[in-house]
């Protein structure tokens, strides 16, 4: 139901996660009031320009209810999240209308990460453009490879 979700009027800083698998989906930094009655975001968490390859969302056609729309689902578990439309604010022009029951919210803009030193170039590019390191530690894994654990913050 529009205008009834618990996150519609949430203005806290933080991340919105998939309620089914806990994948990070949207940042409060990209949330806005679209007036539609649904929590709305101008882009998915991890988007770089128009590139959504580092996000946890997928788009697919939805021809239900007698109209053609674009459904948004979680890339990790295929959970239905909502729909995306091309009438959002600049610069993205996107309006992700997401159902509150599909989300969990975790306040704060800091996220923990654990990654192998052999990270992909895409992940390094994403970090370079969107994140800054606050704390970093390096340990040896049980198999002898190096691992970095740290805290990153949105720039």
**Active site residue ranges:** 97
Burial status of residue 151 (CB atoms within 10 A of its CB: 0-12, 13-18, 19 or more): middle
CA-CA distance, 118 to 108, in Å (whole number)?
Answer: 28
CA nearest neighbour of 94 among 9, 17, 12, 30: 30
């Amino acid at each position: 139901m529009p205008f009834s979700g618990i996150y519609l009027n949430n203005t806290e800083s933080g991340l919105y996660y998939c309620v089914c698998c806990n994948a990070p989906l949207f940042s409060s930094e990209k949330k806005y009031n679209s007036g539609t009655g649904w929590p709305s975001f101008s882009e998915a968490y991890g988007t770089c320009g128009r590139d959504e390859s580092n996000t946890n969302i997928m788009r697919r056609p939805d021809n239900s209810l007698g109209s053609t729309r674009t459904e948004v689902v979680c890339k990790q578990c295929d959970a239905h999240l909502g729909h995306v439309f091309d009438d959002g604010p600049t610069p993205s022009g996107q309006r992700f209308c997401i159902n509150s029951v599909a989300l969990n919210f975790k306040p704060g803009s800091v996220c923990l990460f654990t990654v192998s030193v052999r990270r992909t170039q895409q992940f390094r590019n994403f970090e370079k453009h969107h994140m800054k390191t606050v704390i970093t530690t390096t340990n040896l894994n049980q198999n002898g490879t190096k691992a970095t654990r740290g805290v990153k913050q949105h720039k």
